Every structure is written in C-alpha cells, then in structure tokens.
Amino acid sequence: MPDQDLPTGGGGAPVHPPAATTTSAHPPAGTAGTAGTAATARTAAPARLCEIAADDVAALAAGAAIFGTGGGGAVQTEQMAVAAAIEKHGPVPVVTVGELTEDDAVIVLSAIGAPSVGIEMLPAEGQTETIVREVERITGRPMTAVMAAEIGGSNGVAPVGWAAGMGLKVLDADGMGRAFPQGTMISMNVAGLPSEFAVMADTIGNVSVLRTINLAWLERHARAITVASGAISLGAHYVLTAETAPGAVIEGTVSRAVQVGRRLLAASEPVSELAAELAATVVVSGKVIDVERNTEGGFTRGSVTVEGVGADRGRLTRVEIQNENLVIIEDGVVVASVPDLITVVDSETGEAISTELLRFGQRVSVLAWACDPLWRTERGLELTGPRAFGYDLDYVPFDGGRR
C-alpha cells in the first residue's frame, strides 16, 4: 500500500518486495446487525482458535497474505517479529467478541505510512506500549486486548506480536476482513461508531493525541503527523468494548486466517484447496501477459492481463489494481469488484502474489469471493464500492459464477 493510508496502511511493517501474497479470505460467520444484502455462500465458521502459538505464526502470515487481496504489505518481517515475541512471552490468548466482558477494552492498532520507508525505519521497542499507555490515560481503563484494523497483509500479523509483548489478548476480529487502502474503509465507520480520539506514536518516541471532527479529518491530520515522523507511524483510533464491538467488527477473521494458512501450507493441490477453504471461485487460471502500472500522483494504478491456459484457453481476463486487486473484467463485463475479495495466487503454490510483485509470465490463478455482508450495505458500498476507488461502475455482488 503505497501511500495513502491511515490506519490501514502498509506501514511500520516492513513491506518487502519479495514475499507478499495476496489472496483473500472469506468472511466468517455473521457480522451482526448491519448486513443488508443477502450473504452468499459461506463455509462453516472456523474451528475456534484459543491461542496463537509459535507454530501458528507461519499459517497466520500465509493466511493474512491471502486476505491482503494484493495489498496490506508483505508479511515476512512481521512474521519474524511475531514468532520472536511469542517465543519470548509465550502464546497469545485469542478471545471472541462474544467472550468480551465489561472489564474488557480492545485497542485497535495499525501502522500507517510508506512501504518504501517501512523497510528502512522499523518499529521501536515499546512503540505500541506507548500508545496503549496513552489510551489508558485518556480512557481511564486498562486495555485488555488488541484488534488488527485489517487482517490482510502485515497489519493482520503484527498485532499478535504486540499483544504478546504487552501480555494482552487478541480479539478474533478485524475492521475489514481483508485489506483496504484508507482508514475510513473500516467496519466501525460503517457501523456508525465514532472515533472519539486517536493516538499516534512514531518510531522515535513522539506521541500525538488527535481529536478530530470525523475520520476524514483524522486521516488528513494523521498524514501530516506521519510525514513529520519520517513517513511511518503506528496509531490507535478506536477502543472497543463488549457493548460496542458486536456489529462493528468483522468477527472470526484471525481464526479464519490461521485456518486458511494451515490448509494452504499443507495442501497438495494448493489452488483448489484454497478455493474450497475460502468458498471462492477460481475465475481464471493462466499466465500474466501484461502488467501496466502508473504511479503518477502518488497513487499506484494499473492493470494485469491474464491469458487463460488449459481449460481457460482463449480467455483474456483483466484485473484492475491499485494497492489491492479491485476489479475483474472479462469481455468488457465486470466479473467481480470491490468490496468483494479478489486475490491472485501462484498457480503452483497457491501463495498470494501482491500487486507490486505481479510480473509478466507468472502462472497465476485469480480467485474471487464474497465480502462480509457489512460491505454490501449502502454505507459499506459508499465507502468501498468501485466508485470509492474511482471506477465508474455499479457494484454487482459476486455470487460465485464466472460472469
């Protein structure tokens, strides 16, 4: 996620070119309340994950990369930090929304900034703890759990390490169920939950507390502060409770990422098993015959053309990309689009390929599957539908068909 992001950006987490992956995941069972459009096919809720131990970290990273839908930042460096943190502090307990008690307070943490800087200036020891202490001072209550703002990519992996270091739990949920490039594209915003304040801390030790009139202003101010901090910082802009979390977050996504990652890492037929696990459709399998990128204006915009092979011979499919994979078009018809999830994976290994790593000649499979119902509401589509990304297209829910 090159550049425009607030709480979701690919930031502090070193975004290494090599590893990223992309695929996506599929929304877990019910997100309360706001669902508007009928949910499409969903698999059963994942087996309940009670803790994340050292040997779950690789699966978490692989799964988070899949849910990154081409963005979210590469996972390797964070994977290393999380594994080290768990080794030092022990497994991290995972708690569900339903298990939250009135004593619980969940801090939503994420990195913001430029990936190109994130690989050079990495987080400081105690940086997240600084944020947590400040938030505790403001709210007057102890934080008991951490939630990732986005499960996709490095931002879905890092919070587990932060929780380990601070002795906190991880909430089995996130604010996107995937990766999105902007801080406003978060479930709490769809649910109408206000962000009352935000706390940012940079890798140097500076802490800022922001009280803005809305998320758009928060994003503007947070960006300015991030630039002053050297283009990378960490922040928290929501504190969730047993009362506010239900319906305002996308539940089960941490378990889901681990489950998808485990299945992928153990698969003998990675692409089909991944698709089955995600209840996704393999839209096309083929080779990349064109990658077009345009970075003007600080935005990465482009498209990838996949020529079908095997059973898909003769087909040409285009994927529109920005930080994430956004729209699939074939024969001038939209096959799938944001906020539904689109992931490009290596046809052999099933490993997600992030947008910046797409290259001519790669053998890839393009997977698509339905987003969480929350994103299909009017408010959800306003924030994350094709028009929110500058495409003059109406959203058509992806129903698993080819077109």
Partner 1 sequence: MNARTDLSVGIDVGGTNTDAVVISPSGEVIAWTKSATTGDVTAGIRSSLAAVLDQLGPDRGAVSRVMLGTTHATNAIVRRRDLGRVAVIRLGAPASTVYPPLAGWPADLRQAVLAGYVLAGGGHLVDGYPIAELDRDAVRRLLDELEGRFDAVAVCGIFSPSFPEQELEVEALVQDHVGVDVPISLSSEIGALGLLERENATVLNAALYAVARDITSALTTVVVEHGLDAATFFAQNDGTFMAVEYAARYPVLTIGSGPANSIRGAAALSGADDAIVIDVGGTTSDLGVLVGRFPRESTLPREVGGVRTNFRMPDILSLGVGGGTIVDVAAGTPGTDSVGYRIAEEALLFGGSTPTLTDAAATAGAVVAGRELPPLDRSVRKGLAEALAVAHDRIESAVERMSLGRTGLPLVVVGGGEFLVPDRVLGASEVVRPERGAVANAVGAAIALAGGRADRLCAVADRVAAIEEASKAAIDKAVQAGADPARVEVIDVLETPVTYVTQPTLKVAVKAAGPVAHIGRKEPT
Site size with partner 1, rule: CB under 8 A: 44
If the CB atoms of residues 251 and 346 are measured against partner 1, the closer one turns out to be: 346
If the CB atoms of residues 3 and 324 are measured against partner 1, the closer one turns out to be: 3
Contact criterion met (CB below 8 Å) for 304 and 322? no
Distance CA 14, CA 2 (A): 12
For 265, the token pair is 């890492």
Alpha helices, DSSP H, located in 167-291:
187-190, 215-228, 253-266, 270-278
Length of the chain: 403
Identify the residue among 6, 7, 8, 14 touching partner 1 (CB under 8 A): 14
Minimal distance in Å, beta carbon 115 to partner 1?
Answer: 8
If the CB atoms of residues 118 and 152 are measured against partner 1, the closer one turns out to be: 118
For 246, the token pair is 């239900």
Stretch that binds partner 1, among 52-60, 74-82, 90-98, 209-217 (CB under 8 A): 74-82
Minimal distance in Å, beta carbon 122 to partner 1?
Answer: 4
Identify the residue among 40, 69, 110, 226 touching partner 1 (CB under 8 A): 226
Stretch that binds partner 1, among 12-20, 131-139, 148-156, 324-332 (CB under 8 A): 12-20
Instruction: Please name the residue that has the structure tokens 């529109």.
Output: 320
Distance CA 33, CA 31 (A): 7
Q: Is 193 exposed, middle or buried (0-12, 13-18, 19+ CB in 10 A)?
A: middle
- Does position 231 bind partner 1 by CB under 8 A? yes
Q: Is 69 exposed, middle or buried (0-12, 13-18, 19+ CB in 10 A)?
A: buried
CA distances from 26 to 106, 313, 379, 401 (A): 23, 28, 20, 16
Query: In this structure, are strands 232-240 and 198-201 parallel, antiparallel, or unpaired?
Result: antiparallel
Identify the residue among 33, 55, 360, 394 touching partner 1 (CB under 8 A): 360
Identify the residue among 32, 39, 54, 80 touching partner 1 (CB under 8 A): 80
Q: Name residues contacting partner 1, limited to 160-219 (CB under 8 A).
A: 203-205
Angle at Cα 91 formed by Cα 85 and Cα 96, nearest 5°? 120
Minimal distance in Å, beta carbon 278 to partner 1?
Answer: 27
Q: Name residues contacting partner 1, limited to 110-149 (CB under 8 A).
A: 113-117, 119-127
374: which strand partners? none
If the CB atoms of residues 2 and 68 are measured against partner 1, the closer one turns out to be: 2
Identify the residue among 87, 99, 103, 290 touching partner 1 (CB under 8 A): 290
- Does position 310 bind partner 1 by CB under 8 A? no
If the CB atoms of residues 6 and 278 are measured against partner 1, the closer one turns out to be: 6
- Binding site residues, partner 1, CB under 8 A: 2-3, 14, 16-18, 76-77, 80-81, 84, 113-117, 119-127, 203-205, 226-227, 229-232, 289-290, 295, 298, 357, 359-363
